[in-house]
Amino acid sequence: MKTPTICQLLLEDKTANNITVQGWVRSFRSNRFIALNDGSTGQNLQCVVEFEQYDPALLKKISVGAAVKLTGDITESEGAGQKYELKVSEITVYGTSDPETYPIQPKKHSLEFLREKAHLRVRTNTFSAVMRLRSRLAYAVHHYFTTQSFYYVHTPIITGSDAEGAGEMFRVTTLAPQNPPLNEEGKVNYKEDFFGKETNLTVSGQLEAETYAMALGKVYTFGPTFRAENSNTSRHLAEFWMIEPEVAFNDLWDNMDLAEDFIKYVINDALTHCKEDLIFLESRLLEEEKTKPQADRSELSLIEKLKFVTENKFIRLSYTEAVEILMQSTPNKKKKFQYPIEGWGVDLQSEHERYLVEKHFKCPVVLYDYPAEIKAFYMRLNEDQKTVRAMDILFPGIGEIVGGSQREERLDVLEQRMEALGIDPKELWWYLDLRKFGTAPHAGFGLGFERLVLFVTGMTNIRDVIPFPRTPQNAEF
Ligand code: 4AD
Ligand code: MG
């Protein structure tokens, strides 16, 4: 049966006869007013039931969480709070919902409580708004790249190379864990495994995307990636989605331009197409901020913050300049950083990144030209022989949202870097082939999709912007 969604009905903005809607009951007041939600919008449709006309046994079945079909006329509402309402003439209850045991009651639940109910939490205003935004942002990602003439590449989820160095990997195997076949050295014989070698879940689609950039020119991947790091933070997931464009003939500056333009585009798209959900999330955040001490409250509202990012140029500065600023910073001098900045060459921790973005510049920051030692083997070595053409984009409240680089296209330099880092060239023979056959400058980056969704929705924990988060000790659902 084709029925309009509540979103469509409200957009039509007019009265209508004999309309059927289907959804879930958000509340049922005075045996008369059903607030119906079908997920198409954050707004509920007020449905008015003349209870005298119905069997009390039927009405008893209507409680919070029940799935119903309601038919009637859309009329102008007599009550305050909504323009239209449905005068119900026919009720079908698809499924009841026991009010004693249904966890999602029309009251405020903590996000921690809702995480335990991840299969039901999307029935709340907050999570439905977040997930509608997530969906729109994913669409905007594809739209952006498609209109910029990029091709979408599906890089493998199961990978045979473990040399990417982006993090700990999850092994993929069909061998019996209790008694796997052993080789002569007494080690597990992966030759007998499904793929005849050790395989893992991918940590990034970059290396494979590079092969496609060297033929299709402008490509991107957008898929799940997996990291078995034991990072129990509000910014890390073991399974997350990453967007990785890779462009032939781009240098580091083109790469920064692309990243900045791309981020601004998708945020603008959300501002245009998800206004209602953003207004709701903004008010949610405002409430949450009220519980914090004044000093920790954000100066900008959610929508102001998003507009600030789309309307201002990101600050660009080298790692060396950033270290200078950090060395001279008050928290460093007063030994307030957990990891004090003692000199050039140290890896920046999120406390340092956040200081730069939130306190010093108060603006997104692109850091580039990092020390070679703290970055991956594939990043292009600079003439100083000390730094590589890396760039990270740091966002307020998030820290690193993008990591990327111009890639090392010179075979001899790449081989030296791999040797220095103990990466077996035999493992990545196909990657080295790219440098043997028509090598060219190229660059790309990875944007963590959940970190983007975090930023846009104003949520504070990454577990709340993906339907079923995977984190250490947590893979329920
Ligand atoms: O900086 P990373 O590790 O870069 C790469 O993987 C490169 N291969 C990307 C490329 O150049 N094509 O990760 C990229 C981004 C980070 O900036 C961050 O936003 C996100 O991925 N990210 C995570 N997001 C959630 N949970 C985690 N555990 C993440 N690790 C990285
Ligand atoms: Mg990184």
Q: Residue 97 above 70 pLDDT?
A: yes
How many domains does the chain divide into? 2
Mutate to test the pocket of ligand 1, among 153, 231, 240 (most ligand atoms within 8 A of CB): 240
For residue 165, what pLDDT band results from cuts at 50, 70 and 90?
Answer: low
Q: What is the torsional sign of CA 392, 395, 398, 402?
A: negative
For tokens 């893992």, name the residue. 200
CB 125 within 8 A of CB 282: no
Q: Give domain status of residue 234, yes or no.
A: yes
pLDDT of residue 132: 98
The CATH number that applies at residue 11 is: 2.40.50.140
For tokens 């504070």, name the residue. 460
Range of the domain at 144: 123-168+203-464
Query: Domain check: are 78 and 149 in the same one?
Result: no
Question: Ligand 1: which atom is nearest the Cα of residue 398?
Answer: 19
Average pLDDT over every residue of 132-142: 98
CA 301 to chain centre: 20
Which residues contact ligand 1 via a Cβ below 6 A? 166, 204, 206, 227, 236-237, 240, 242, 244, 400-405, 444-448, 450-451
CB 202 within 8 A of CB 159: yes
Supply 243's token pair: 């967007």
For residue 166, what pLDDT band results from cuts at 50, 70 and 90?
Answer: low
Query: Domain check: are 258 and 376 in the same one?
Result: yes
What is the residue with the minimal CA distance to atom 4 of ligand 1?
Answer: 403
Q: Give domain status of residue 173, yes or no.
A: no
Q: Give domain status of residue 177, yes or no.
A: no
Average pLDDT over every residue of 163-168: 69
Query: Domain check: are 133 and 84 in the same one?
Result: no
Query: Domain check: are 133 and 262 in the same one?
Result: yes
Average pLDDT over every residue of 396-420: 96
What is the residue with the minimal CA distance to atom 18 of ligand 1?
Answer: 448
What is the residue-averaged pLDDT of the chain?
Answer: 95
Interatomic CA distance for residues 135 and 453, integer angstroms = 10
pLDDT of residue 351: 92
pLDDT of residue 446: 98
pLDDT of residue 443: 98
pLDDT of residue 163: 64
CA distances from 124 to 118, 192, 224, 398, 456 (A): 11, 48, 26, 24, 18
H/E run at residue 262: helix 252-273
Least distant ligand from the CA of 451: 1
pLDDT of residue 42: 96
Query: Domain check: are 428 and 312 in the same one?
Result: yes
pLDDT of residue 6: 97
- From 407, 365, 369, select the one nearest 391 (Cα to Cα): 369
CA terminus-to-terminus distance, the chain: 30
H/E run at residue 282: helix 275-290
Q: Residue 55 above 80 pLDDT?
A: yes
The arrangement of strands across the sheet holding 442-448 comes to: 151-152, 218-226, 239-248, 442-448, 399-406, 387-395, 365-371, 315-318
Q: Give domain status of residue 149, yes or no.
A: yes
Q: Is the whole model's pTM more than 0.95, yes or no?
A: yes
pLDDT of residue 293: 86
Q: 72, 105, 138 — which closes off a domain? A: 105
Query: Domain check: are 51 and 157 in the same one?
Result: no
Q: Residue 138 above 80 pLDDT?
A: yes
Burial class (CB in 10 A: 0-12, 13-18, 19+), 318: middle
Query: Domain check: are 100 and 130 in the same one?
Result: no
Supply 469's token pair: 């988060």
The CATH number that applies at residue 306 is: 3.30.930.10
Q: What does residue 243 show for φ and ψ, rounded to 5 degrees?
A: -105, 125
Average pLDDT over every residue of 73-94: 95
pLDDT of residue 107: 87
Average pLDDT over every residue of 157-164: 82
Query: Domain check: are 57 and 128 in the same one?
Result: no
Average pLDDT over every residue of 301-313: 96
Question: How many Cβ atoms are within 10 Å of 25's Cβ, its own excluded?
Answer: 24
For residue 134, what pLDDT band results from cuts at 50, 70 and 90?
Answer: very high
For residue 369, what pLDDT band results from cuts at 50, 70 and 90?
Answer: very high
Q: What is the torsional sign of CA 133, 231, 164, 379?
A: positive
Q: Residue 33 above 70 pLDDT?
A: yes
Mutate to test the pocket of ligand 1, among 170, 225, 242, 466 (most ligand atoms within 8 A of CB): 242
pLDDT of residue 296: 78
Alpha helices, DSSP H, located in 46-124: 56-60, 111-115
